[in-house]
Amino acid sequence: MMTEQSGPLRVPSAMKVLSLVNLCKRYGAPVAVDGVSFDVGRNEIVGLLGPNGAGKTTIINMVLGILEPTAGTIQIEGVDIALHRGQALERTNFTAVYAPLPGNLTVYQNLRFFGLLYGVRGLATRIEELLKQFDIERFRDTKCGVLSSGEQTRAGLAKAMLNQPHLLLLDEPTASLDPASARDIRAKICEFAGREGVGVLWTSHNMVEVEKVCDRVLFLSHGKILLEGDPKTLPHEYGKETLEDLFITVANEPLTLGGNGA
């Protein structure tokens, strides 16, 4: 199996899976997202980072079509989500710790329900593959509401990969996991991304995790992209020892990062 250290085997492609141009979201006077533009390529894992309230989840909800942008465009594989939402989202999927699967359905029932919703071909076989891949076969007939947080995370990731998405949105995917489980899940996501040529947009507050899995990171502050670059080298460009140090500076003193070496 590939490990999370085998990330370099994924070669990001010039083909854009996701493209945001001047994306804005306002709630009256407050601006949640302010002119954000970036792309995610095939075989690329992009970290979307920033403190609480920076705009990360708002961006993900706009990409998913849950929120309507105030301005700007979102394209998924060249399809404008505002014009052809169904087509754009056909090969997109998502998971987050705050959006668990319905707790009154079993793991199998949930996967079957969402599989039918996505129109997955060979659904029964696909479900069995994912139950095995995420080591949740023994929970197939267990209601999701009684699973541990880690088991719910695995079931949610299985759901997110049902339709073999070209764009995978992960909002704090390992937040509820112990270190060993988190490492295993990171490896599975990296393996899936490399094998299927998937573009991944990944939010996390775990900077060690981000440095291990992400090809590129975007730091958000007050709804704007403040910094962008390779997570392994970006901190040193701004005079910081670690990605965590840089994160803390972005959270507390974003105005000091106006130039390199600040």
pLDDT value, residue 196:
83
Residues 173 and 71 in one domain: yes
Q: How far apart are CA 28 and CA 47, in angstroms?
A: 28
Residues 75 and 190 in one domain: yes
In a domain, 206, yes or no: yes
Residues 33 and 124 in one domain: no
In a domain, 1, yes or no: no
Give 18-27 pLDDT, tens digit per residue.
999 999 999 9
Q: Which two tokens stand for residue 165?
A: 């998405």
Q: pTM value?
A: 0.87
Residues 86 and 119 in one domain: no
| CA angle 25–26–31, rounded 5-degree value | 95
Residue 118, pLDDT above cutoff 80: yes
Residue 51, pLDDT above cutoff 60: yes
| CA angle 111–139–3, rounded 5-degree value | 80
Give 205-234 pLDDT, tens digit per residue.
999 899 999 999 999 999 999 999 999 999
Residues 148 and 207 in one domain: no
Residue 25's domain comprises: 15-91+165-257
Residue that wins the pLDDT comparison between 26 and 10: 26
Q: How confident is the model at residue 14 (pLDDT cuts 50, 70, 90)?
A: low
Q: What is the mean pLDDT of residues 248-262?
A: 68
Residues 22 and 134 in one domain: no
Q: What CATH number does the domain containing 34 carry?
A: 3.40.50.300
Strand partners, 33: 25
Residues 52 and 177 in one domain: yes
Radius of gyration of the chain (CA): 18
Residues 190 and 120 in one domain: no
Residues 246 and 119 in one domain: no
Residue 7, pLDDT above cutoff 90: no
Q: How far apart are CA 72 and CA 134, in angstroms?
A: 37
Residues 205 and 219 in one domain: yes
Eight-state DSSP code of residue 112: H
Residues 20 and 147 in one domain: no
Q: Which two tokens stand for residue 225?
A: 């992209």
Residues 68 and 111 in one domain: no
Eight-state DSSP code of residue 240: -
Mean of the per-residue pLDDT values for the chain? 89
What is the CA 260 to chain-centroid distance, rounded? 28
Secondary structure E strands in the chain: 16-26, 31-41, 45-49, 71-76, 79-80, 92-96, 167-171, 199-203, 216-221, 224-229
Q: How confident is the model at residue 56 (pLDDT cuts 50, 70, 90)?
A: very high
